[in-house]
Amino acid sequence: CGRLEHGFLRVRCDACHHEKLVAFSCKRRGFCPSCGARRMVDSATHLVEEVLPKRPIRQWVLSVPYPLRYLFATNPKVMSQVLTIVHRVISTFLIKRACKTVKSGAQSGAVTLIQRFGSALNLNPHFHMLYLNGVYDAKGYFWPVKPPTCEDLDFVAHTIAIRVSRFLEKAGYLVRDAESEYLNLMQDEEDAMGAIVGASITYRLAFGPNAGRKALTLQTVPVRNESRKGDDLVSKQAGFSLHAGIACKSNQRKKLERLCRYITRPAIAERRLSLANNGNVVIALKTPYDDGTTHVVLSPMEFMGRLAALVPRPRVNLTRFHGVFSPNSKLREYVVPQKPIEEQENPKPKAYSMTWAQRLKRVFAIDIEKCERCGGPVRIIASIEDPDVIQKILKYLGLDHSVDKPIRSPPADLTDQQTTLF
Q: Tell me: the pLDDT tens digits for 242-264?
A: 999 999 999 999 999 999 999 99
The pLDDT value given to residue 144: 94
Phi, psi (degrees; rounded to nearest 5) at 317:
-75, 120
Q: Could you write out the three-class secondary structure of 62-110?
A: EECCHHHHHHHHHCHHHHHHHHHHHHHHHHHHHHHHCCCCCCCCCECEE
Average of per-residue pLDDT across 25-46? 80
Q: Would you tell me the crossing angle of helices 150-171 and 76-97 to the nearest 10 degrees?
A: 140
pLDDT value of residue 147: 92
- Residue 174's pLDDT is what? 76
Measured distance CA(131)–CA(128) in Å, rounded: 10
In whole angstroms, give the CA distance from residue 420 to residue 422: 5
Report the pLDDT value the prediction gives residue 290, as an integer from 0 to 100.
77
pLDDT at 413 over 50: no
Residue 246, CA atoms < 13 Å, CB-side half-sphere = 21
- pLDDT category at 415 given cuts 50, 70, 90 is very low
pLDDT at 166 over 50: yes
The pLDDT-based confidence of 410 (bands split at 50, 70, 90) is low
Instruction: Indicate if the pLDDT at residue 80 is higher than 90.
Output: yes
Which residue type sits at 224? Answer: R
- In the chain, % of residues over pLDDT 70: 77
Q: Quote the pLDDT of residue 186.
A: 46
The pTM (predicted TM-score) of the whole model is 0.79
Tell me the average pLDDT across 356-370.
72
Task: Report the pLDDT averaged over residues 383-389.
Answer: 90
How many angstroms separate the CA atoms of 308 and 345, rounded?
47
- Residue 134 has a pLDDT of 94
Residue 272 has pLDDT above 60, yes or no: yes
Q: What is the pLDDT of residue 373?
A: 81
Q: Please give the residue that has the higher pLDDT: either 339 or 90.
A: 90
The pLDDT of residue 419: 28
What's the pLDDT at 222? Answer: 64
At 306-332, the pLDDT tens digits run 888 888 888 888 999 999 999 889 889
Query: Using CA atoms, how far apart are residues 117 and 201, in angstroms rounded to an integer?
Result: 9
Rounded Cα distance between 396 and 418, Å, is 43
Q: How confident is the model at residue 37 (pLDDT cuts 50, 70, 90)?
A: confident
The predicted-structure confidence for 220-244, as pLDDT tens digits, reads as follows 656 555 554 545 789 998 889 999 9
Answer whether residue 305 shows pLDDT above 70: yes
Residue 179's pLDDT is 52
Q: Confidence band (pLDDT; 50, 70, 90) for 135?
A: very high
Q: Is the pLDDT of residue 110 over 50?
A: yes
Range from 19-23, 96-100, 206-210 carrying the lowest mean pLDDT: 206-210
Sheet of strand 19-23: strand arrangement: 19-23, 8-13, 378-384
In this structure, the number of other CB atoms found within 10 A of the CB of residue 91 comes to: 21
Percent with pLDDT over 90 in the chain:
33
Average pLDDT, the chain: 81
What pLDDT is stored for residue 320 in this prediction?
A: 95
The average pLDDT across 143-170 equals: 93
